Amino acid sequence: SGRESVPVALNLDVPTDDAAVSLKVTNYPATGTLSLPDRTLSPESSLTVGEVEGLRYEPQIGASAPVEIAFEIRADSGAAKPAKMKLSPSVDPCDLAAGEPLDLQGVVPGLLPNEIGADAVKLCEAAVKAYPDVARFRYELGRALLAAGKVDQARKAIQQAADRGHVRAVFELGYLHATGTGLAADRKQANTFYAAAADKGDPYGMTSWGRALFHGYGVERDTGKGLDLLLKAAAMGHTYAMNDLGAIFTEGRNGVPADQARAVAFLKAGVQRQDMYSMNLLGRNYLSGRGVEKDPKAALELFQKAIDLGQPYAPASLARMYRDGVGVEQNLDEAQRLFELATSRGDQSGAYDRAALEMQKGDKADQAV
């Protein structure tokens, strides 16, 4: 079940218990962290024989291949006897149920909040109980509780994870403050957490802090630093940053000149990662011909895919094609159906266009709008 493996207790069989013997790490794992209860080891670390039983390995992003760790055993005599071992980190059910994408301290590709299932709370409670000192499980428990609507318990678990050094949890505290989830919305407080997570290299933190700096949300505007953080987060694979950059370079904002080709490159990268917001934005580019050859068929396919994934603004994007007969045969009934879908997803401009189309069709405008 992998129960004993996160972090993996190494249980090394050292051929001596002589206190004069020390070990030097000669082959540090390519992913993950080697640690002792009181410190994290680096590629050059040494440790004593007495410390070996406390040696642990914590896997990181997506590490499922066997991990090789090698030690050189040294006695006072100076003769070195290399010892080598292989580890296969396995993943806890909590990670599979509530791990998050691009979590630097995560071990799985991760799930979005709406993908977290009902059993995640139970699985992560078990993981926290089994490994009380692994901060990641407390964070994943927090995610599971949030998905289950248990906001107060979630915030407590996320706070505990942050206190224990889980970087994504620090970002998440910022997000809770920014959105007013279970507490009063406080943009400045949110920024403090975003900045702290960004400083530790978290791509979510970089995106939110970069966005705040770029636009001056609750902080003095610093376009250069904000743009730099967004670019770094995008390079790490965060699609929200890609979409922000797509918008910035499509229109040119805050003194950053428009660069259509660059905008399209970021949006295409987002689409490759199945981001539904990237799909809707790139579809609009194909419709308008900004940064790409006009291609209504490609736009329609992107809008449809985004709709299927639940994107809120894509229904209206496609509805306007049917309303105006752009790239498709005009079909006001289909446009109306899609505007209604947009309205149900909370798209205000879609709701406005829906009402306008009602009027145009000579019907009485739907009072529900």
> Residue 307 is which amino acid?
I
Q: Looking at the domain covering 8-87, what would its CATH class be?
A: mainly beta
Q: pLDDT-based confidence at 55, cuts 50/70/90?
A: confident
What is the mean predicted confidence (pLDDT) over 249-276?
93
pLDDT category, 7, cuts 50, 70, 90?
low
pLDDT beyond 70 at 20: no
Rounded Cα distance between 54 and 47, Å, is: 10
How many other CB atoms sit within 10 Å of the CB of residue 97? 25
Confidence category of residue 285, pLDDT binned at 50, 70, 90: very high
What is the distance between the alpha carbons of residues 237 and 278, in angstroms, rounded to a whole number?
13
What is the per-residue pLDDT across 338-369, written as a single tens digit (0 to 9) for each? 999 999 999 999 999 999 998 887 654 455 44
Domain extents in the chain: 8-87, 91-165
Q: Token pair 């207790």 is at which residue?
A: 9
Task: Give residue 202's pLDDT.
Answer: 92
Instruction: Check residue 2 and give its pLDDT.
Output: 33
**What's the sign of the alpha-carbon dihedral 102, 108, 114, 120?**
negative
Compute the mean pLDDT over every residue in the chain, rounded to the nearest whole number: 86
| Cα–Cα distance for residue pair 30/361, rounded to 1 Å | 64
Length of the chain: 369
Q: What one-character DSSP code corresponds to residue 230?
A: H
**Cα distance between residue 105 and residue 203, in whole Å:** 12
Mean predicted confidence (pLDDT) in 296-323: 96
Which sign does the torsion angle of CA 366, 341, 147, 154 carry?
Answer: negative
Average pLDDT over residues 10-36: 69
Establish whether the linkage from the previous residue to 315 is cis, with ω within 30° of 0: no
**Higher pLDDT, residue 16 or 134:** 134
Q: Do domains 8-87 and 91-165 have the same CATH topology?
A: no
Q: Minimal CA–CA distance to 269: which of 300, 304, 230?
A: 230
Question: How far apart (Å, rounded) are the C-alpha atoms in residues 173 and 178?
Answer: 9
Among 29-43, 88-102, 191-205, the range scoring the smallest mean pLDDT is 29-43
pLDDT at residue number 347: 92
91-165 CATH, one of 3.30.56.10, 3.30.1540.20, 3.40.50.300, 1.25.40.10: 1.25.40.10
Q: Where are the alpha helices (DSSP H) in the chain?
A: 93-98, 120-130, 135-147, 151-163, 167-179, 187-199, 203-215, 223-235, 239-251, 260-272, 276-288, 296-308, 314-324, 332-344, 348-360
The tens digit of pLDDT for each residue in 314-344 reads 999 999 999 999 999 999 999 999 999 999 9
